[in-house]
A and B are shown apart, each in its own frame.
Chain A
Amino acid sequence: MPIVTPALALIILVAGIVSGGLGALLGLGGGIFLVPFLNLAMKFPIAAAAAISLTTVIATSSSVSAGRAGKQLINIKLGMLLEVATAAGSLLGAVTAQFLAPSTVQRLFGIATIAVAIVMLTRLQRRNVLDASTDAGVLGGRFHDDESGREVAYRVKRVPFALGASFVAGNLSSLLGIGGGFIKVPVLNAWCGVPMRAAAATSAFMIGVTATSGAVVYYGQGQLQPALAAVAVIGVQIGSWIGMRFGQRASVRWLKMLMAAVLLIISGLMFARAR
């Protein structure tokens, strides 16, 4: 367990602000930035890094979703349905972690992030919005689209595929200490007919439950350093507040380009560490 000093706390606070800001912009938990930082740069044991990261993921999910509630961007029914798969995956991931070599997991992680980045870059125009008069079905939704200034609707397609992706996302969440939004958001957007903003909001809503399954296990094992987790949580809160303000004005296309670039960087880091 790392020794807590004011200097270390300050570094983690800043890392939390950066992760939280990027997380809010991209609809991710921010854990995908925090885990590599804590593990690679700060030399934390992977379990300690994952424990802190999962804690911040829960905080991001709660605060971002609390801020968005009432805007109808979060598809609660779809989120609840997919949570069945993601919580099961997360639970199983805690068990799987006991049997897989960390380097194997990191390579799988690297491959998955590249695949998702390619999908993001090749399907940049997937807005998926339909006329507001369309019947959205049981799982579909409607919301006010800031880009066109109109009320729009969407239907959810390929639900079994979304469930499968959510299961994998949950699995990676507890294995790696991340939320898993980096899998769900592109899958929901590119294949399941969900507009980018709704996909990001729904994913951010879900990752609180996903990360709780994993975080509880780390906490029970005494791998969570409370003071550092607290500093990281506060940092992420500040960052996500900044990110949400800025995110209102960012275009969907810009968000997707940024997301693809971020995925490629993380992939490279993971391969570098797997050797």
Chain B
Amino acid sequence: MPAARLERLIGTVLRVGISTSSLCLACGVALFFMSGGPIASMLLQAGIIILLATPVARVVVSVAQYVSERDWTFTTLTAIVLVELLASVVAALLFHRKL
């Protein structure tokens, strides 16, 4: 059943994303309070970027799955969500330049 496949796929993406980012964040915090320094802040930044990227990756995987199922209605809907997420990245960059 394709629906169950997508659910498993999404589950895997979320699990990998959250465990990787949690690991980076936990190590980053530990280092931050022990010694600080560039490695600590690099781990913290990496953890946060992976955390922010996880929902985006979940949407990308969904678009791909709906394309492979030839479900064009949901391909369009998930593609719109992806465009909206990318638009917020663009908005962030624009705000960043303004400040």
A-side interface residues toward B, CB under 8 Å? 4, 6, 9, 55, 58-59, 61-63, 65-66, 69-70, 72, 74, 76-77, 80-81, 83-84, 87-88, 90-91, 94-95, 208-209, 211-217, 219-222, 224, 226-227, 229-231, 233-234, 237
CA distance A95 to B98 in the complex (A): 13
Residue pairs across A and B with Cβ atoms less than 8 A apart, 5 shown, are: A9-B29, A72-B4, A213-B84, A219-B52, A226-B41
With a cutoff of 8 Å between Cβ atoms, the chain B residues found around residue A215 in the complex are 52
Cβ-neighbour of A55 out of B18, B51, B59 (below 8 A)? B51
Considering only residues 1-60 of chain B, those with a C-beta below 8 Å from chain A are 3-4, 6-8, 10-11, 14-15, 17-18, 21-22, 25-26, 28-29, 32-33, 41, 44-45, 47-48, 51-52, 54-56, 58-59
B residues near A, CB below 8 A?
3-4, 6-8, 10-11, 14-15, 17-18, 21-22, 25-26, 28-29, 32-33, 41, 44-45, 47-48, 51-52, 54-56, 58-59, 62, 74, 77-78, 80-81, 84-85, 87-89, 91-93, 95-96, 99
Q: How far is the CA of A205 from the CA of B48 in the complex (A)?
A: 19
Give the docked Cα–Cα distance between A262 and B7 (Å): 31
Instruction: Contact check, A220 vs B95: say whether CB atoms are below 8 A apart.
Output: yes
- Neighbouring B residues of A66 by C-beta, 8 Å: 11, 14-15, 18
* Contact in complex: B29, A212 (CB < 8 Å): no
Report whether A227 and B32 are in contact in the complex, using a CB–CB cutoff of 8 Å. yes
Cβ–Cβ < 8 Å partners of A58 in chain B: 51-52, 54-55
A4: chain B residues at CB < 8 Å are 32
Q: How far is the CB of B43 from chain A (nearest CB, A)?
A: 9
Main SS of chain B's interface residues? helix
Further 10 A-B residue pairs, CB within 8 A, beyond A69-B14, A224-B48: A63-B14, A72-B7, A80-B81, A83-B59, A84-B80, A213-B84, A217-B92, A220-B93, A230-B26, A234-B22
B92 touches A220 (CB 8 A): yes
Question: Would A91 and B84 count as touching, CB distance under 8 A?
Answer: yes
Residues of A within 8 A of B41 (CB): 226
A94 and B55 form a contact (CB under 8 A): no
Q: Write the nearest CB–CB distance from B96 to chain A, whole angstroms.
A: 5
Kindly report which residue of chain B lies nearest to residue A209, judged by CB atoms: B55
Q: Inside 8 A of B15's CB, which chain A residues have their CB?
A: 66
Contacts of B14 in A (CB 8 A): 62-63, 65-66, 69, 208
The answer to whether B10 touches A76 (Cβ under 8 A) is yes
The 4 closest A-B pairs by CB, nearest first: A69-B11, A220-B92, A87-B84, A66-B14
Cβ–Cβ < 8 Å partners of B84 in chain A: 84, 87-88, 91, 213
Let me know if B88 and A91 touch, CB within 8 A: yes
How far, in whole Å, are A200 and B4 apart by their CA atoms in the complex? 19
Decide: A230 and B25 in contact? CB cutoff 8 A.
Answer: yes
Please give, as numbers and ranges, the residues of chain B lying within 8 Å of A220 by CB-CB distance: 89, 92-93, 95-96
The residue from A59, A208, A213 contacting B88, defined by CB atoms under 8 A apart: A213
A55 adjacent to B48 (CB under 8 Å): yes
Asked if A84 and B81 make an inter-chain contact with CB atoms under 8 angstroms apart, the answer reads: yes
Which residue of A has the minimal Cβ distance to B93?
A: A220
CB A105 to nearest CB in B, in angstroms, measures 19
- Select the residue from A95, A219, A230 with max chain B CB neighbours within 10 A: A230
**B28 is contacted by which of A62, A212, A226 (Cβ under 8 Å)?**
A226
A59–B53 Cα gap in the complex (Å)?
Answer: 11
Query: Which residue of B is nearest A233, CB measured?
Result: B25
B55/A212 in contact, CB under 8 A:
yes
- Cα separation A230 to B6 with both chains bound (whole Å): 30
